[in-house]
Amino acid sequence: MRCSEERKREVRNVLLVDDESMVRIGVKTCVDWQQLDIGNVFEAANGSEALEIVRNNQIDIIITDLKMSVMDGFAMLDELKSMPGKPEVIVMSCYNDYDNMRRAMTCGVKDFLFKPQMYPEDIEEAVRKVQKEMAKNRIPDERSGKKRDVLSGALQFIDSHLADPDLCQDMVAEYTGLSVSYFCRLFKNEMGISYSNYIIKKRIELAEQLYRTTDMKVYEIAGKVGYTNEKYFARLYKEQTGHSMKNLIKKGKKE
């Protein structure tokens, strides 16, 4: 059980940003980063250096001052907004006036620490709070990833069984391990089209490809795309496309 719990703990990286090296050293040495599951603690002397580190490393949490030379904290926060997967930010500042705090929070800062009254416990508490929020946000992401995996498997199964006249939503749902109702709902939500309409669309696309690139007759093509009744297939094809398959131009032939 202990080993299982440790595997679930996610190690993250922190970036300390302050133009005073002694502040960076102090924060880096006074906090028990290992106990917080922090793998690496990077350092930057200004916003410009910080952005370069973020671009080249996986940074999860930034703890930054606001008033710095070259590029201050606010300019850095503006740049971070456009970055994919941007880190969460905790501010530590000597200025705890309302305007600075409001502006920082507007930029998405998760916590604001007042340097003159900042203790190691305050930093640790702020980091834990951010980690807890990140963990909550990861759950929907993981669920979304699982849905994509299930759907990807379903689409591959469908592609390999288009010629099977018995291909149905019950068969695909069973393959994915989902109930039929949940599978159909998931499919419609993720694909923007119902399962039945998707099957028709894919079979017609395959039929057109076969007609253009082979010498197969329409009745043969119907069988290759899962329809045992040629007349039904021809009628369905015309309903979906507005023309008969014989109107298509075969590859290598001119009109």
- What confidence score (pLDDT) does residue 82 get? 79
Mean pLDDT computed over 167-193: 91
What are the percentages of helix, strand and coil residues in the chain, rounded to 5? 60, 10, 30
Tell whether the model's pLDDT for residue 5 goes beyond 50.
no
pTM: predicted TM-score of the whole model, two decimal places: 0.58
Phi, psi (degrees; rounded to nearest 5) at 108: 95, 10
Sign of the Cα pseudo-torsion (228, 230, 236, 237, in order)? positive
Q: Which residue segments constitute the domains of the chain, with CATH numbers given?
A: 2-118 (3.40.50.2300), 161-247 (1.10.10.60)
| pLDDT, tens digit (0-9, with 9 covering 90-100), for 85-144 | 789 999 998 887 788 788 888 888 999 999 988 899 999 999 999 999 888 877 777 788
Distance between CA 169 and CA 158 in Å, rounded? 10
Half-sphere exposure in the Cβ direction for 210 (13 Å, CA): 18
Say if CB 78 and CB 66 are below 8 A apart.
no
Q: How does residue 251 score in pLDDT terms, banded at 50, 70 and 90? A: low
Q: Cα 76–97–83 angle (5° rounding)? A: 15
**Cβ neighbours of residue 11 closer than 8 Å, sequence gap 6 or more:** 37, 38, 39
| pLDDT, tens digit (0-9, with 9 covering 90-100), for 184-212 | 999 998 899 999 999 999 999 999 999 98
| pLDDT, tens digit (0-9, with 9 covering 90-100), for 37-77 | 999 999 999 999 999 999 989 899 999 999 998 999 999 99
Tokens 């800062």 sit on residue: 109
What are the CA-CA distances from residue 217 to residues 186, 212, 221, 247 (Å)?
37, 11, 6, 13
